[in-house]
Amino acid sequence: MPRRLPLLLLALVAACSAGSTVAPAPSLPPSLSPAASPSPSLPVSPPVPPRTLAVLRPAGPVELYALTGQRATRSARLQTPKANARALAVSGTRALICVVWLLSETEYPDPPDRRLVCYPTGGKATVLEAAGRDPSNVAVRPDGRRIAWSDLHDEGNERISVATWTDGHLGDVQSYLADPGKPPGQAEKSFTGAAADDLAWNGDEELVVTVGYQSDDGSGPVRFRLGSTRRGWLQAPEVPIPSAESKAGYYTYDRIVSVDDGTALAVERPQGFGDGPQPPEHAVRIALSTGQILDVLATAATGRYVTAVSGDRSVVVYATAAHADEDQLSKVYVRYAADPRGIPVTGLPPDVTGAVLLPTA
């Protein structure tokens, strides 16, 4: 998730190499009774078990909602590590949710003031000290046993780290630079022009990294295989955009946080600059091996942008806003596999800035 978001250090009670406890984490919700049926004018989905939707707001806790049909009912909150902290990115499963928090009132404080906090179901929330004070994105593997995160070094030599998560403890941290031939950080000699805008797991040993390049023009996702490698993640194979899409004015796939068996949900967006009208943004499902679009799930209305898309083959949640930045107030929609189009999610607060549908694992 976003580094483009505009979003006092906690007194840590106990510290260890993996992290330190901050507060109890709430249990995820039990099944809820079915919500009221949607309007007859909208498509009606078949009954499915409630899903967990993580909702971001301009400041304060990440709120968890049970999504039944088109109705969302708040079930729990992930408390902030500091009053008025802002959630920048969230990823998780039913057993573990991790959040990148901005603790300062400015987006790029000096020194950095961000924290990565993980909330195991029924356990204690833990600050991941290994992530330091400048994490920018996070991806929890669907089985909840590994966590990946990236540092905040816009267009510098950014590091992606991966660690195991076992019984509330972080271990076996492995780190990978964008370009191993350059020093880490943002010094002049570290310049790569790139940044890891989003992370997602593709199986057990591969990360899909959405690459932002040269002031957010975007260069598309890459597939980075973990393990012993001398190549940096920036040099990993790209997921191409088909030539037909390029000819239609589209430039890149963006904001990939959900991957399912070799396919990914993404935002297909145009170049974003230049003369003349731009084609509308799409929420799409793509084949990672070829970049081929398998399904167009939603098309942004005139004057709006798709700011997020997440889910799986049975249900997809996407958000649109009047501005391309992900921190804008968003309208959230859900589309089930049997539905011809998305329908608005009801029951959410009016100041939603983002929403992520968590996997069922």
pLDDT in tens, 260-314: 989 999 999 987 655 668 899 999 999 999 999 999 999 999 989 999 999 999 9
Residue 71 in any domain: the answer is yes
Instruction: Return the higher-pLDDT residue of 19 and 179.
Output: 179
Q: Which residues pair with 258 in a beta bridge?
A: 265
Position of tokens 């249900």? Answer: 315
Specify the amino acid at residue 275.
D
CA dist., res. 69 & res. 338, Å (int): 12
Decide if 318 contacts 327 (C-beta within 8 A). no
Residue 30 scores a pLDDT above 50: no
- How far apart, in Å, do the first and last CA atoms of the chain sit? 20
Q: Which residues pair with 62 in a beta bridge?
A: 78
CA dist., res. 47 & res. 45, Å (int): 6
Tokens of 176: 């990978």
Q: pTM for the whole thing?
A: 0.84
Residue 325 in any domain: the answer is yes
Strand bridging mode 250-260 / 114-120: unpaired
Residues found in the chain:
361
What's the confidence (pLDDT) of residue 46? 54
Residue 9 in any domain: the answer is no
Residue 49 in any domain: the answer is yes
**Dihedral through CA 277, CA 258, CA 43, CA 73, nearest 10?**
-120
Residue 252 scores a pLDDT above 60: yes
CA dist., res. 12 & res. 15, Å (int): 7
Decide if 335 contacts 316 (C-beta within 8 A). yes
Q: In sequence order, which residues have a C-beta less than 8 Å from that of residue 241 and are 6 or more positions away?
A: 220, 250, 251, 252, 253, 268, 291
Summarize pLDDT for 149-165 with one digit per residue, the tens.
998 766 689 999 999 99
Summarize pLDDT for 204-238 with one digit per residue, the tens.
999 999 998 754 455 689 999 998 677 899 999 99
Helix (H) or strand (E) segment spanning residue 244: helix 243-247
Helix (H) or strand (E) segment spanning residue 62: strand 62-68
Position of tokens 């020194």? Answer: 111
Residue 13 in any domain: the answer is no
**Domains contained in the chain, number:** 1
Instruction: Read off the pLDDT of each residue in 312-340 and give the average, rounded to a whole number.
Output: 89
CA dist., res. 137 & res. 148, Å (int): 8
Q: In sequence order, which residues have a C-beta less than 8 Å from that of residue 316 and are 6 or more positions away?
A: 265, 283, 297, 309, 310, 334, 335, 342, 357
Decide if 79 contacts 63 (C-beta within 8 A). no
- Residue 233 main-chain phi, psi, to 5 deg: -65, -25
Residue 15 in any domain: the answer is no
Q: In sequence order, which residues have a C-beta less than 8 Å from that of residue 173 and are 6 or more positions away?
A: 130, 161, 162, 163
Alpha helices in 24-176 (DSSP H): none
Residue 6 in any domain: the answer is no
Residue 347 scores a pLDDT above 50: yes
What's the confidence (pLDDT) of residue 41? 44
Instruction: Find the domain containing 188 and state its range.
Output: 20-357
Position of tokens 């950080």? Answer: 185
Residue 201 scores a pLDDT above 70: yes
What's the confidence (pLDDT) of residue 327? 62
Task: Report in angstroms the alpha-carbon separations of 312 from 9, 125, 142, 302.
Answer: 36, 27, 12, 26
Summarize pLDDT for 86-127 with one digit per residue, the tens.
999 999 998 999 999 999 877 677 777 899 999 999 889 999
Q: Which of 204, 319, 208, 306 is nearest to 259 (CA)?
A: 208
Percent of the chain at pLDDT exceeding 90: 65
What's the confidence (pLDDT) of residue 350? 94
What's the confidence (pLDDT) of residue 191? 87
CA dist., res. 216 & res. 219, Å (int): 9
Q: Which residues pair with 195 in a beta bridge?
A: 212
- Residue 162 main-chain phi, psi, to 5 deg: -135, 135
Q: Which residues pair with 194 in a beta bridge?
A: 213
CATH classification of the domain holding 120: 2.120.10.30
Residue 164 in any domain: the answer is yes
